[in-house]
Structure 1
Amino acid sequence: MSVLVIAEHDNQTIKPATLNTIAAAQKIGGDVHVLVAGKGVSGAASQAAAAAGVAKVLVADSDALGDQLAENLASQILAIAGAYSHILAPSTSVGKNVMPRVAAKLDVAQLSDIIGVESADTFQRPIYAGNVIATVQSSDAVKVITVRTTAFDPVAATGGSAAVENLAAAGDSGKSAFVSRELAKSDRPELTAAGTIVSGGRGIGSAENFSILNPLADKLGAAIGASRAAVDAGYAPNDWQVGQTGKIVAPQLYVAVGISGAIQHLAGMKDSKVIVAVNKDPEAPIFGVADYGLVGDLFEVVPQIVAKL
């Protein structure tokens, strides 16, 4: 039995989510192979080969794969799918775009957003915003799986020495074309990979007031996040949103400022190792999951925390 992991990368480096997905693959058992498909991916392939527990790295390098178009990447996966019992990808925007296409072409049911592996055919996944954990079993010959990466500790990025094999790259499907990419540049860590996150909610009151989080984030070396309510109100950009309809995070430290703790938000951050909540309402649901809670006016409390740091 061999397991294929679809690497997420920017053509130069492997994204941290790949290491978490490799960890999930190892729990299934068998040899773990990693597919690195893109353009000019030799550096990313070398990083994948160095990851602990990887037996082989498969490299598909072509112009058609450079922009990670779902149709082209799915074709590449399907070209080698017959050799694998399981195909795994991170449950990110790329994985969610590509893997349903792979499952449909293979005529199998996708297993989405798994958080646990009980056996080679039985997995756990959250439903109802994480309030219920479903145990699902698949009898499909090939299991197509997306992995909630926050549920698995990443494998070591070094120490491995996997063989690297070049594949015949799939051509352009002609079904879609890359037009443009707008990237938000920031000196702060990427939200889904940050070890510390400071998030603000509707309680902050305005987009201008959101800057109160900057000194605290600077002191902690943290990424900045936001609740859906804050994003919907225009206080913060959409790519900062944490929650069921945003990004799922599990940092070492999560500081929730002015966030009431709606279930949709908790679903995106409740696996954080330490949660600190600041809210003026002592009955706010966020205190139900917080390890440390401060009841008070955030405009007074946050500057006091910064001064202490």
Structure 2
Amino acid sequence: MKILLIGANGQVGYELQRSLACLGNVISTDRKQLDLTNNDAVRAKIAEIQPKLIVNAAAYTAVDKAESEQALAIQINVDAVRVMAEEAKRLNILLIHYSTDYVFDGQGKRPWCENDNLAPINYYGESKLLGERAIQETGCHHLILRTSWVYGVRGSNFLLTMMRLARDKETLSVVADQIGAPTWSRHIADATAQIVAQYKGSHSQLDDYWSLRSGVYHLAASGQGSWYDFAEAIFQFMASQGEQVAVLSQTITADYRTSAQRPLFTCMNTDKMADTFDIRLPDWRGSLDLVMASFDSEA
């Protein structure tokens, strides 16, 4: 099966190259090979490759910069995505696309379900929601996988930033009133591969099988914690390995000014993913320990 992977050098895309390798001929593109600000180039690339599956791991993810770069966020998160969906519809294939917990306003105390009210409070979240709707409007076979607080061994993410600051700073304050589920990019990729394996096995029945399964699914780690909890777990692991780390303290969102607002509670209910695909990701703390241990083993 020919798989087109878009955004191969991002956090999730990097892991997808490994996870999808055994499932088909993975043709990977990054921003140098495919300019997502050029809709014609996106359409031409898909027409050239004629894939049996498109996995879009590319996105504009700079939450604060999106407030001042709205046109760019829309182009990458909406317009390019619409082209992918239109081509998936034309080819009668599946499009897998990643979205975010930031489509919710964070005003709640129970994990969000897929059909709960969508009301993003920043432009990044707005652009991702518009991307979801663009896919749905085409009528293509699709899986929109909403995930949260993604981190991994490469790219720009909270884990790597905290590891650097733990070594460089004497003290550090981290927000303690935003609650979510830190999710390892490798687990997102492996879960995607499990879904693709089912898709590959059912391809002769594509219309019936995937018309029933097309839709939005939440794919995030089990458990919940604040950014402070996340940082504390990172610092504790580093200290257990003999490293000197900064002294950590708590702050609140109201005292930590950023260009974009952040939702306060974005934990997501993942029962639909478990019921449909028999996939439920592990608790975030155990996953973080695995990632941290991998850094230690590579040292």
- With the shorter chain as reference, the TM-score category is 0.3 to 0.5
Greater relative contact order (Cα < 8 A, sep 6+): 2
TM-score, normalization by structure 2:
0.34
| Structure number, greater radius of gyration | 1
Normalized per residue, which structure has more strand? 1
